Structure 1
Amino acid sequence: MNYSKRVSSMQSSPIRKLSPFEEAAKKNGIKVYHLNIGQPDIKTPSDFFYAVKNFNNDVLEYCPSQGIPELVSAIQNYYLNYDIKFDKDEILVTNGGSEALLFAIMAVCDPNDNILTPEPFYTNYLGFTQAANVNIVPITTTAEDGFRLPSKEYITSKINSNTKAILLTNPSNPTGTVYTKDEVKMISEIALKHNLWIISDEVYREFIYDDSIYTSFGNIDEVNDRVIIIDSISKRYSACGARIGSIASKNKNLISQILKLCQSRLCVSTLDQIGAVDLYNTPVSYFNNIKDEYNKRRDVLYNELMKVNGVVCKKPHGAFYILAKLPIEDAEDFAIWMLSKFNRNNETVMICPAEGFYSTKNLGENEIRLAYILNEKDLKRAAQILKEGLEEYIK
Structure 2
Amino acid sequence: MPKASHRSETVSLSPIRKLIPYADAAKAAGRHVYHLNIGQPDIKTHPTAVAKFRSIDWEILEYSPSNGIASYREKLTGYYARYGIDLAVENIMVTTGGSEAILFFMLSCLDPGDEVIVPEPFYANYNGYADITGVRVVAITGAIENGFSLPSAEAFAEKITPRTKAIMITSPNNPTGVCYSDEEMETLTDIVVEHDLLLCADEVYREFAYDTPARSVLQIPRLHQHAVVMDSVSKRYSATGARVGALVCRNAEILAGVARYANLRLSPPGLGQMLSECLLEDDAGYLEATKEEYRERRDLVYRRLRAMPGVKTYLPGGAFYCFTRFPIADSEHFCQWLLEEFERDGATVMLAPGPGFYATPGLGHDECRIAYVLNQQELEKAMDCLEAALLEYPGRTLDTPA
TM-score normalised by length of structure 1: 0.97
1:54 aligns with 55
On the 8 A contact 2:49/2:281 being kept in 1, the answer is no
| Residue identity matched to 2:101 | A
* Percent of pairs with identical residues: 41
- For the residue of structure 1 that corresponds to 2:175, the secondary structure is coil
- For the residue of structure 1 that corresponds to 2:150, the secondary structure is coil
| Residue identity matched to 2:304 | E
Instruction: Quote how far apart the aligned CAs of 1:169 are.
Output: 0.4
1-side partners of 2:267 and 2:329: how far apart?
47
| Residue identity matched to 2:62 | E
1:220 aligns with 220
Instruction: Quote how far apart the aligned CAs of 1:51 are.
Output: 4.2
Instruction: Quote how far apart the aligned CAs of 1:170 are.
Output: 0.3
2-side partners of 1:87 and 1:213: how far apart?
23
On the 8 A contact 1:170/1:205 being kept in 2, the answer is yes
Instruction: Quote how far apart the aligned CAs of 1:388 are.
Output: 1.5
1:164 aligns with 165
1:198 aligns with 199
2-side partners of 1:248 and 1:179: how far apart?
20
2-side partners of 1:68 and 1:198: how far apart?
27
Structure 1, 133-142 or 6-15: larger mean CA deviation? 6-15
| Residue identity matched to 1:188 | T
TM-score normalised by length of structure 2: 0.95
Instruction: Quote how far apart the aligned CAs of 1:305 are.
Output: 1.2
Q: Does 1:355 align with 2:355?
A: yes
The runs of 5 or more residues in structure 2 that have no matched partner are none
Instruction: Quote how far apart the aligned CAs of 1:253 are.
Output: 2.6
Instruction: Quote how far apart the aligned CAs of 1:27 are.
Output: 1.8
| Residue identity matched to 1:54 | S
- For the residue of structure 1 that corresponds to 2:159, the secondary structure is coil
On the 8 A contact 2:200/2:228 being kept in 1, the answer is yes
On the 8 A contact 2:302/2:314 being kept in 1, the answer is no
Q: How many residues align?
A: 394
Q: Does 1:33 align with 2:18?
A: no
On the 8 A contact 1:308/1:391 being kept in 2, the answer is no
Structure 1, 53-62 or 287-296: larger mean CA deviation? 53-62
- For the residue of structure 2 that corresponds to 1:378, the secondary structure is helix
1-side partners of 2:385 and 2:347: how far apart?
8
Structure 1, 1-10 or 325-334: larger mean CA deviation? 1-10
| Residue identity matched to 1:381 | K
Instruction: Quote how far apart the aligned CAs of 1:355 are.
Output: 0.7
2-side partners of 1:88 and 1:256: how far apart?
14
Q: Does 1:270 align with 2:274?
A: no
Q: Does 1:21 align with 2:17?
A: no
In the TM superposition, 1:108-147 aligns within 5 A as: 108-147=109-148
2-side partners of 1:344 and 1:151: how far apart?
43
- For the residue of structure 2 that corresponds to 1:157, the secondary structure is helix
Give the root-mean-square deviation of aligned CA atoms: 1.3
On the 8 A contact 2:119/2:151 being kept in 1, the answer is no
On the 8 A contact 1:179/1:214 being kept in 2, the answer is yes
1-side partners of 2:179 and 2:391: how far apart?
30
| Residue identity matched to 1:288 | E
In the TM superposition, 1:228-307 aligns within 5 A as: 228-307=228-307
The superposition leaves residues 295-332 of structure 1 with CA deviations (integer Å, 9 ceiling, x where unpaired) of 11111111111112221111101000010011210111
1:81 aligns with 82
